[in-house]
Amino acid sequence: MTATIESPVPVPFAPLCPLVGVEEEYLIVDPASRAVTPRAAELFERSAAELGDLVCTEITRYQLEAKTPPCTAAAELEGHLRRLRATVSASAHELGLAVVASGTPVLGDVVPPLITDHPRYGVGIATYRALHDEQTICAGHVHVHLPDRERAVLVSNHLRPWLPVLIAMLANSPFWAGRDTGYASWRALSWSKWPVAGPPPYFRSLAHYDETVALLTASGALVDPGTIFWDVRPSSRLPTLEVRVTDVPATVEESALLAAVVRGLVVTFLSRVEAGDPGTAVPGELLRVAYWRAARDGLDGHGFDPASGQLVPAADLVASLLDLIGPALEEAGDLDMVGERLGHLLRYGTGAARQRAEYERSGRFADVVDFLTAQLTGVR
Looking at residue 5, what is its pLDDT? 45
- CA-based torsion, 240, 125, 102, 324: positive or negative: negative
Tens of pLDDT along the chain (380 residues)?
343 444 445 678 888 899 999 999 999 999 999 999 999 999 999 999 999 999 999 989 999 999 999 999 999 999 999 999 999 999 999 999 999 999 999 999 999 998 888 888 888 888 889 888 999 999 999 999 999 999 999 999 999 999 999 999 999 999 999 999 999 999 999 999 989 999 999 999 999 999 999 999 999 999 888 899 999 999 877 799 999 999 999 999 999 999 999 999 999 999 999 999 999 999 999 999 999 999 999 999 999 998 888 999 999 999 999 999 999 999 999 999 999 999 999 999 999 999 999 999 999 999 999 999 999 998 66
- What's the CA gap between 86 and 378, in Å, rounded? 9
Closest C-alpha to 115, from 107, 106, 124: 124
- What's the CA gap between 330 and 338, in Å, rounded? 10
- What's the CA gap between 99 and 43, in Å, rounded? 10
Q: At what angle do helices 365-377 and 74-94 cross, to 10 degrees?
A: 130
CATH number attached to the domain at 20-377: 3.30.590.20
Looking at residue 1, what is its pLDDT? 38
Q: Where are the domains of the chain?
A: 20-377
Looking at residue 9, what is its pLDDT? 53
Q: Supply the Cα-derived Rg of the chain in whole angstroms.
A: 19
Looking at residue 121, what is its pLDDT? 83
Q: What is the pTM of this model?
A: 0.95
Looking at residue 119, what is its pLDDT? 82
